[in-house]
Amino acid sequence: MNSPSPAPSPLVVVEAVRKSYRIGPRRLDVLRGIDLTIAHGEFMALRGASGAGKSTLLHLLGGLDRPDSGRILFDGMGIHALGTADLARFRNRHVGIIFQAYHLFADLTAAENVALPARMARRSAAEAQERGESLLRRVGLEGRMHHRPAQLSGGEQQRVAIARALVNQPRLLLADEPTGNLDSHAGAAVMDLLLGLREELGTTLVVATHDAHVAERAHRQVRIDDGRVANRTETA
């Protein structure tokens, strides 16, 4: 009798992570001991009230900040212990981040915004441009490549942000309230696009959201309350 195959190791492991910030003389404890695992290819939705710690957790997962204590392992690598330069390389090579406020450069065109992470990864200008334009076609913006952010609608800017986050083919994609600035129709269209690309590329997706419709489409919902994991719900 053959032994069962071992379960695949998770892509991300979060162990006893704490994070606080100083606001004047006061210390604000945001994360108070988070334990979490994220599987390869999973779509996880982080729920919770504003200020519960969802965005802070996304920043730690993406290497934008470091925990005060605890460990964050990415495919076995302790990103919590990386130096500044190594952490920047980790973000550029392995993580795509979609910010709620888009954070597009106002003086760059859509194509230039999308190509920028590829140039930072030292890809040639031609390859970066080809990747960027290909992704913009994929997200339905083939006619808007040379427009600047001010010339684009909110939904179009979000599509540019999605393309930019995917240009280096990240293994982990993080999205902070990706539909928060959009109406329900535009939000649903953006999520359809994002989930289609996630499935096609096999990317692991973690979304922080207040939108119940977005969360219900996830494989798993994790609720963060007062800096701790309150519960986990399988939804798909």
What pLDDT shows up at residue 7? 54
CB 12 within 8 Å of CB 37: yes
Look at strands 12-23 and 77-78 and give their pairing: unpaired
Write the CATH number for 200: 3.40.50.300
The span from the CA of 236 to the CA of 226, in Å, is 26
Closest CA to 99 of 185, 195, 212, 177: 177
Domain membership flag for residue 117: yes
Name the strand (E) or helix (H) holding 124. none
Per cent of the chain over pLDDT 70 is 95
Q: What's the whole-number mean pLDDT along residues 101-119?
A: 95
**Residue carrying the six token digits 């219900």:** 216
Domain membership flag for residue 13: no
pLDDT of 140 > 50? The answer is yes
pLDDT of 166 > 70? The answer is yes
List the beta bridge partners of residue 74.
12, 77
HSE-up of residue 42 (Cα within 13 Å, Cβ side): 22
Please write the tens of the pLDDT for every residue from 171-227: 999 999 988 888 888 888 889 988 998 888 889 999 999 999 999 999 999 999 989
Domain membership flag for residue 187: yes
Domain membership flag for residue 229: yes
> 0.85 exceeded by the pTM?
yes
The span from the CA of 68 to the CA of 138, in Å, is 40
Paired tokens of 234? 């399988």
pLDDT of 8 > 70? The answer is no
CB 98 within 8 Å of CB 178: yes
What pLDDT shows up at residue 184? 87
3-state secondary structure of 65: coil
Closest CA to 34 of 47, 21, 59, 53: 53
**Residue carrying the six token digits 């204590």:** 69
Query: Exposed, middle or buried: residue 224 (CB in 10 Å: 0-12, 13-18, 19+)?
Result: buried
What pLDDT shows up at residue 3? 44
pLDDT of 86 > 90? The answer is yes
Domain membership flag for residue 10: no
List the beta bridge partners of residue 234.
220
Please write the tens of the pLDDT for every residue from 114-139: 999 999 999 999 999 999 999 999 99
The span from the CA of 158 to the CA of 160, in Å, is 5
Domain membership flag for residue 131: yes
Task: From residue 106, give the alpha-carbon distance in Å to each of 110, 132, 169, 196.
Answer: 9, 17, 24, 28
pLDDT of 4 > 60? The answer is no
User: Hey, what amino acid is at 139?
Assistant: V
Length reported for the chain: 236
Domain membership flag for residue 26: no
Please write the tens of the pLDDT for every residue from 20-54: 998 888 998 999 999 999 999 999 999 998 888 99
Q: What's the whole-number mean pLDDT along residues 153-167?
A: 93
Query: Exposed, middle or buried: residue 4 (CB in 10 Å: 0-12, 13-18, 19+)?
Result: exposed
How confident is the prediction for the chain on average, in pLDDT? 91
Residue numbers of the domain that contains 88? 41-65+83-234
User: How confident is residue 91, by pLDDT bands cut at 50, 70 and 90?
Assistant: very high
The span from the CA of 205 to the CA of 99, in Å, is 14
Domain membership flag for residue 213: yes
| Number of structural domains in the chain | 1
Per cent of the chain over pLDDT 90 is 72
